[in-house]
Amino acid sequence: MKPTILVTGANGQLGTVLIPALRIRYGTDNVIASDLRPAAAYTGRFEVIDATNEDRLAEVVRDNGVTQIYHLAAILSASGEQDPLRTWRINMTALLNVLEVARKANVEKVFYPSTIAVFGESAQLTNTPNDSFLDPLTAYGISKAAGENWAQYYFVKYGLDVRSVRYPGVIGYQSDPGGGTTDYAVDIFHKAVLGKPYTCFLQEDEMLPMIFMDDAIRATIELMEAPSEGIKIRTSYNLSGLSFCPADLVAAIKVVYPDFQVDFAPDFRQEIASKWPDSIDDTPAREDWGWEPGFDLQQLVTAMIENLQKKYNNPNPRIGKNQAAA
């Protein structure tokens, strides 16, 4: 039988792409999107859920016979630093509600997204191992590290099949930046295609691990479909795609848009990024459930530009929309 899947935080960067992928795989009627409000012109099954409301979450799970939950709702790193206590309260309350509802309703599987923000100053910056000591320095990272331990607790204590990956920066054309420290690598493409200058909030040499959205979605589904006996890590798996710095990305974009103008004005997000790894060792994910990334930097840049040109109705690969209009 196909699973009945509930996705929280459906309107976010990951949710807007994951839901169509799940519906293609399992059928439209078997995937229920949920968030604080429906997205504009939304199609398919949707439930209004505040994940901090356990009763409402339990009602939807019970009434729809949900067998899997993908819990994506969270406040991200840069946004989270504006109100750290609120970030902790919302992120932790929502996760614990999901875990408790899943336990009580005998939900078969739960997906919990973690992040490279769980790594702090104790972590090796290059090829950061999966078993690194976690001492995050953002409210978002602290909440995600705590969530990893709760995920393992519910697996060991109650046998709840919780699975998790630590996403690096996720780059996709399907949605706008969502408040993350790595979101420069999304916003910069929009500016390039529109022929606008871009001011980067990180230093030009700040190396960070990234992943293309298509790879991130595929990894998520592959993890959830892997045999349970193969899942040996119940906190969270490192996930790696590629690593680059803003200067690398600008150079790759300028191959297509040679007149693209970029300035660098590091802000508080630079301090966050400087504590994160330069690259990730995801050997356990490769060995346990066969993870393998599919996009390098050139392929990522090509995919982003081609799809954003379509979005902005800009067929000329070397002329931004504003420049063409001039």
**Residues catalogued as catalytic:** 140
d(CA 30, CA 307): 28
Alpha helices in 160-296 (DSSP H): 184-194, 213-225, 246-254, 268-274, 283-289
d(CA 123, CA 121): 6
- State which amino acid sits at residue 279: S
Query: Which residue has tokens 């490192």?
Result: 238
Residues β-bridged to residue 198 = 262
Give the integer Cα–Cα distance in Å for 111 and 68.
8
Mention every residue, 6+ apart, whose C-beta is less than 8 A from residue 61: 6, 69, 101, 102, 105, 107
The Cα diameter of the chain in Å comes to 64
C-alpha dihedral, 262 to 264 to 270 to 273, nearest 10°: 40
Rounded CA-CA distance 113/71 in Å is 7
SS3 of 47, please?
Answer: strand
What is the CB neighbour count within 10 angstroms for residue 258?
8
Q: Is residue 283 classed exposed, middle or buried when 0-12, 13-18 and 19+ CB atoms within 10 A define those classes?
A: middle
Task: Give the pair of three-digit tokens for residue 32.
Answer: 């229920």
Q: How far is CA 160 from CA 11, 59, 106, 154, 251, in A?
A: 26, 19, 8, 6, 46
The DSSP element (H or E) to which 325 belongs, if any, is helix 321-325
